[in-house]
Structure 1
Amino acid sequence: MLNPDLDRLKQYENSVSQQQKHIDVLKKNIDQLSIFRLALLLVEIGFFVGLVSSTGNAANVLWSVMLALPIAVFVLVVKKQNKLEKQLKFHQSLLWVFNNEANLINGKPNGYDDGTHFEDENHAYASDLDIFGRSSLYALINRGATKIGLDELAKHLAAPTSIDLAAERQMAIAELRDRAEATFLFRANLRGAELNRIEEIKGKLSNQLLAQVKFTDNTFLRIYVQFVPYLMVLLFLAGLIFGGSLWSIFGLAAFANAMLTYFYSKQINAVYFGFSGSSTLLSNYADAIAWTEQHDWQSKYIKQLFQSKDKVSHQIKALSKIIIAFDARLNFLLYAVLNFFFLWDLRCSVKLGDWCKTASNEVAQGLDRIGYFEELISFATLSYNHPNWIFPKFSNDFQFSAEALGHPLIAQQKRVDNSFFLKTEPTVDIITGSNMAGKSTFLRTVGINMVLAYAGAPVCAAQMHLSIFRLLTYMRIKDNLIESTSTFKAELNRLKMILAEVEQQPNAFVLIDEMLRGTNSKDKFDGSKAFIEKLIALKTPTLFATHDLQLSELEQVHPQSVRNFHFDIQLVANEMEFDYLIKQGPCTKFNAAILLKQIGLG
């Protein structure tokens, strides 16, 4: 049987190999430029010795000119090296992206956040269906590096939806899946992004910056800031040519500039705070946003993410350049020279003020857009990695049917798929069977694929039709010592929650795995029977997994409202074999006695 997942694995392994070659070439080129920079330094030292040793004005001028040449070349080399190092970092990030995809197909953990902080045992289904945390659906899907991307993914895995919204999201996810290779570049640009830093920048742009740059509206200050570089260059050249008192005037002007910078230092620091060292981050975000702006998106859901037709990426690039210039203040010696002679910090503040008045709100919205794209790309990558998964079809009428339905967290080579459908009217389907035969996994398979479907994602099935249900589960009930809650009390609390939801939600769908484990067998049967009959009366579709065969007899009492299914075992040469296939009718083969005998208790 062909395995499309393994075809993707081979594709990712080839991409990893290609990226490694790019990285090796870039490292070699960067090393060569480093050697060349060292050579330029040695040449500069030689020229300086020549200048010191020279006699005569003509020789001094010649050596001075020659002294400037290595500096000019050095600046160009540094610029080239910085460009190569940026490319190197990008390709290293892209290598990580491809490696991570290959690791996931090989069953290794996802390098992105697993959503542990979204875990909630009181949620209607999240804990029982492994939606968040280690080895969860969130851990399988997530490809987000921004707070909004992480939060949006959690929201769509944990909240109810509508048919229209799910259908719109399906189109958006399919459109991004068809451009999957470009989304890897998008993700590489965001690799290693600092979540807190970008949130700080967004907050500053939305709420603080406009007030902080207000001082740059001073007309005299703006004129002087623009004029001062020309004044200082003119005074410097005059001092070189004429000397004397002109050097004193030059010094006084530098001192005045220093005092002016000091006078506005509090305002300057407030403007700069939060931007320090963020130029690379902003530049990467600009590249990511530019990709979203370059396409003529067709799906309605994606189009709604664009609140402006302006190219926000250009505005972010402009901001990044201002921050690069502003970061010069991080070098103490450079800070003194630039501010004494050119009022550098004030110039950057003025530029930031001009930028802020035209772009800050749109940029904040553009930064948010990245997170919304990340969430969609997470699902698009899931669809791309599993091309045999399908987008389900929705119905306004009561419906659930699935062919070859499998659990998305189980590898294809180990997974056993089942087909299952509901009747046109709600029923309570009682599923009996042996330990380890597959009852719990089947319930989770149905539930987790519903969660995927409602998020607009593809499902692990050959075919699936369903209406919108409100999922409610009862599976992993445990005590809580901190809250002094016994297992039985915790079970009662869960049952109370389910009953309350069922009575309020006409579209509830209940999954129950072995109810009332914390009490005696008689109370367990009586309670289970009463609960099932309550669900029948409320016309609530339910999958009810149990070891209690007596409950299967309810089909005789309620032939239109109860159905029996089971998972069984086969004994081959006194060895148990499981096929994990659901079958109609109650179970007739159990394995508890066999298991007890194997450990010497039978």
Structure 2
Amino acid sequence: MKDKKTVYITRKNKFNTLYDKQKRIANLISIFRFATFIGGCIFSFFISRKMNSYIFTLISFLLWITLFLFLAKIHEKLIKNKNLVERIIHINEKGINRIEGKWRSFGEDGEDYIDEDHSFSGDLDLFGLSSLFQYINCTNTFMGKTKFKSTLENPSYSEDEIMKRQEAIKELGSNIGWRQRFEGEGVLKEDKQGHVDRLLKWCVDKKDLYSKNYIKTLTTSIPLFTIVFIILSFLMGGLYYYGALFFIFISIVALFNDKKKRNYALQTVFLYKKYIESYYNMISLIEKEKFRSEYLVSLKERIVENEGEKASTAIKELMNISQSISDRGNFFYVIFNILFLLDYKHMIKLEMWKKKWGKHLEEWLKVIGEFESLSSIAILSFENPDWTTPTIQKEKLIIRGKKVGHPLLGDRAVKNDFSIGEGEKILLITGSNMSGKSTFLRTTGINLLLAYIGAPVCAEEFTCSLMDIYTCMRISDNLERNISSFYGELLRINKLIEGVKTKKPIFFLLDEIFKGTNSVDRHTGAKILINKLSKEKVLGLVSTHDLELGSLEEHNSKVKNYHFKEYYENNQIHFDYKLRKGVSTTRNALYLMKIAGIEVEEG
């Protein structure tokens, strides 16, 4: 991982140098622009006074204004490139922080995606503070975040799809330059569902009025007659003056017709001008890259239509229209709008665009989102070359891992070997407080999830079968819903039972089962549930303080005992977090109470 930190540092320094260079050039161009403007004004004034010729004055004016606009164009491009470089610098800084274990300070943690009713996301720390989402998320678009969330919550890929995703993630992981450029181009502020929904709704909301031939004819002919009569009124006066006024009046009436709906449509495109430009840049990057893996190639094909036209061509066209519409905020636009019916011309162009491309935009945005999601997962592949690509077992239910650690703990992760499914179906994990039982359950669950989405897992070897995941770990009282922790636990157990009834393969994690009730009921309920589950198409881990449950192994060959233990040194308690066979023989609750300053009288 240190080598990867060096890569990030090297790239950061490289782009810092580039940023400083671009900043100097941009400042220099800005000075040239100002000098050109002042010099052009002075020169034009000088020409008009000395030459006393409108032609020479006009030529000089056109020359310096052309140079000024040329420099403005170059300056705008430099600013955009400088901003992109700045974003890539930030991306590399995030990479350094992630490797140094400082990723918990990343601003976006997916807290809005927390779902207490989900079958496993809360217990496996997929969203929220110190979550997998916070650790690797590099999505920026709404579609990207949605796709990444869906991938983590619903890993419903087949064995074949997982294998294809593994290759895709490896390829993206090794292509850090493309990934960072793609992420840098996608940095958008407030790309939210409402915004995307409005844009997609606009794409399929046809305004038939602007597709009619007579509207296209009138939009061309009325401005033509208006300009002709204006010219003739200056040259000949008389009735031509009234003719010009008549056609101007017609234009004004036309602009008031359907004004509200037209403004809404035009404002929609204008509001999303920067998003459309970002989508164009991201799609262009996808189109230009020559991907090798089948999964990425098939994704890329989704942004090329049957006619062979590229999505970037369509987005570029929409971007150009949106740039034209942005002039509507200009004071002089009102005059030109009356003369040339610009709003109508924009609407006609947009309707032509929607007719040809509108139905495809949502699909293109989904492809962008899929690439963002895969790029986020590819961070694991790039930064953890020592992690393994899991093997999916089709023939039987099994999980087998060698040196498996928790992916979010970094160097602090203690790694364990274990297997389940080769005879036993349920591992009963005992151990004292703080010994590592819950962490081990989460370690198994989150690595299983990573395997299901095509990611590498934090292990030296890992083999697993495809199963639906159910957990019951973090259950607390919910005052808003008037649900006690014990009832909440029962609801989660009921979900598991309902899942079992579907006869689908299931993997479950139960932490301190039935802890919300008395010891007798807890022991009886846990024993009945474990025995029942052991007869079904399931694998699972159950942690418990109830050491008496260890006797289940004697009567049920599908249950095996494992435990974690503590040791004492210099009157202090220590844990090695290593998984061992058998039932725990130690307890530390009284000792921990003494450490906390609570006097305990034994006897």
Say whether the fold is shared (TM-score over 0.5): yes
The structure 1 residue matched to 2:109, chosen from 91, 109, 114, is: 114
- The CA distance in 2 between the partners of 1:251 and 1:342, in whole Å, is 18
1:496-542 CA distances to partner (integer Å, 9 max, x unpaired)? Answer: 33223223334122211111222222222222222222223436422
8 A contact 2:223–2:340 mirrored in 1:
no
Residue in 2 that maps onto 1:561: 558
1:136-189 CA distances to partner (integer Å, 9 max, x unpaired)? Answer: 122223221222222222222222523233223223222322333202111111
1:55-102 CA distances to partner (integer Å, 9 max, x unpaired)? Answer: xx8444433433333222211111111111121222222222222222
What amino acid maps onto 2:37 in structure 1? Answer: L
The structure 1 residue matched to 2:251, chosen from 252, 260, 273, is: 260
What amino acid maps onto 1:72 in structure 2? Answer: T
Residues 91, 404 of structure 1: CA spacing in aligned structure 2 closer, same or farther, 3 A cutoff? same
8 A contact 1:109–1:135 mirrored in 2:
yes
The structure 2 residue matched to 1:7, chosen from 3, 21, 40, is: 3
1:249-285 CA distances to partner (integer Å, 9 max, x unpaired)? Answer: 5896487357425513526424413011433332221
8 A contact 1:202–1:367 mirrored in 2:
no
What amino acid maps onto 1:132 in structure 2? Answer: F
8 A contact 2:397–2:539 mirrored in 1:
no
Deviation at 1:49, TM superposition (A): 4.3
- The CA distance in 1 between the partners of 2:65 and 2:416, in whole Å, is 72
1:447-484 CA distances to partner (integer Å, 9 max, x unpaired)? Answer: 11111111121111111111112222111111122222
2:530 maps to 1:536: no
- The CA distance in 1 between the partners of 2:447 and 2:238, in whole Å, is 79
Deviation at 1:220, TM superposition (A): 2.2
The structure 2 residue matched to 1:591, chosen from 567, 588, 593, is: 588
2:261 maps to 1:283: no
Deviation at 1:317, TM superposition (A): 0.8
Residues 594, 271 of structure 1: CA spacing in aligned structure 2 closer, same or farther, 3 A cutoff? closer
- The CA distance in 1 between the partners of 2:435 and 2:532, in whole Å, is 28
2:599 maps to 1:601: yes
150-159 vs 494-503, greater mean Cα deviation: 494-503
Once the two structures are superposed, the pairs formed by residues 231-242 of structure 1 within 5 Å of their partners are none
Query: Matched residues, percent identical?
Result: 30
- The CA distance in 2 between the partners of 1:296 and 1:42, in whole Å, is 48
- The CA distance in 2 between the partners of 1:7 and 1:71, in whole Å, is 52
RMSD, matched Cα:
2.8
- The CA distance in 2 between the partners of 1:414 and 1:62, in whole Å, is 77
1:319-369 CA distances to partner (integer Å, 9 max, x unpaired)? Answer: 111211121111112x03433554433333333333333332234422332
**Residue 408 of structure 1 aligns to a residue in which SS?**
coil
Structure 2 residue runs of 5 or longer lacking an equivalent are none
Residue in 2 that maps onto 1:138: 133
335-344 vs 513-522, greater mean Cα deviation: 335-344
Residue in 2 that maps onto 1:312: 311
Residues 434, 364 of structure 1: CA spacing in aligned structure 2 closer, same or farther, 3 A cutoff? closer
2:204 maps to 1:188: no
8 A contact 1:566–1:582 mirrored in 2:
yes
506-515 vs 339-348, greater mean Cα deviation: 339-348
Residue in 2 that maps onto 1:92: 86
Residues 337, 25 of structure 1: CA spacing in aligned structure 2 closer, same or farther, 3 A cutoff? farther
Residues 160, 178 of structure 1: CA spacing in aligned structure 2 closer, same or farther, 3 A cutoff? closer
- The CA distance in 2 between the partners of 1:313 and 1:532, in whole Å, is 56
What amino acid maps onto 1:77 in structure 2? Answer: L
- The CA distance in 1 between the partners of 2:339 and 2:31, in whole Å, is 33
Structure 1 residue runs of 5 or longer lacking an equivalent are none
Residue in 2 that maps onto 1:577: 574
What amino acid maps onto 1:287 in structure 2? Answer: N
- The CA distance in 2 between the partners of 1:341 and 1:288, in whole Å, is 38
Deviation at 1:42, TM superposition (A): 2.3
What amino acid maps onto 1:332 in structure 2? Answer: F
- The CA distance in 2 between the partners of 1:578 and 1:228, in whole Å, is 89
8 A contact 1:394–1:468 mirrored in 2:
yes
Once the two structures are superposed, the pairs formed by residues 146-225 of structure 1 within 5 Å of their partners are 146-161=141-156, 162-196=158-192, 197-205=195-203, 207-209=204-206, 211=208, 213-215=210-212, 218-221=215-218, 223-224=220-221
- The CA distance in 1 between the partners of 2:439 and 2:239, in whole Å, is 86
Once the two structures are superposed, the pairs formed by residues 215-364 of structure 1 within 5 Å of their partners are 215=212, 218-221=215-218, 223-224=220-221, 244-245=235-236, 253=244, 256-257=247-248, 259-260=250-251, 262-265=253-256, 266=259, 268-305=262-299, 306-307=301-302, 308=305, 309-333=308-332, 335-364=333-362
- The CA distance in 2 between the partners of 1:448 and 1:292, in whole Å, is 30
Residues 255, 27 of structure 1: CA spacing in aligned structure 2 closer, same or farther, 3 A cutoff? farther
8 A contact 1:480–1:486 mirrored in 2:
yes
8 A contact 1:438–1:567 mirrored in 2:
yes
- The CA distance in 1 between the partners of 2:538 and 2:216, in whole Å, is 72
Residue in 1 that maps onto 2:499: 501
Residue in 2 that maps onto 1:371: 369
- The CA distance in 1 between the partners of 2:242 and 2:22, in whole Å, is 46
- The CA distance in 2 between the partners of 1:275 and 1:227, in whole Å, is 27
**Residue 268 of structure 2 aligns to a residue in which SS?**
coil
- The CA distance in 2 between the partners of 1:261 and 1:87, in whole Å, is 42
What amino acid maps onto 1:281 in structure 2? Answer: Y
- The CA distance in 2 between the partners of 1:587 and 1:127, in whole Å, is 28
Residues 247, 544 of structure 1: CA spacing in aligned structure 2 closer, same or farther, 3 A cutoff? farther
**Residue 195 of structure 1 aligns to a residue in which SS?**
coil
Deviation at 1:445, TM superposition (A): 0.3
2:34 maps to 1:38: yes
347-356 vs 432-441, greater mean Cα deviation: 347-356
- The CA distance in 2 between the partners of 1:193 and 1:414, in whole Å, is 35
Deviation at 1:414, TM superposition (A): 1.0
Deviation at 1:224, TM superposition (A): 2.7
What amino acid maps onto 1:573 in structure 2? Answer: N
**Residue 264 of structure 1 aligns to a residue in which SS?**
helix
8 A contact 2:390–2:462 mirrored in 1:
yes
Deviation at 1:216, TM superposition (A): 6.4
- The CA distance in 1 between the partners of 2:135 and 2:563, in whole Å, is 29
Residues 345, 225 of structure 1: CA spacing in aligned structure 2 closer, same or farther, 3 A cutoff? farther
Deviation at 1:110, TM superposition (A): 6.7
2:64 maps to 1:70: yes
Residues 219, 433 of structure 1: CA spacing in aligned structure 2 closer, same or farther, 3 A cutoff? closer
- The CA distance in 2 between the partners of 1:250 and 1:426, in whole Å, is 97
- The CA distance in 1 between the partners of 2:503 and 2:198, in whole Å, is 40
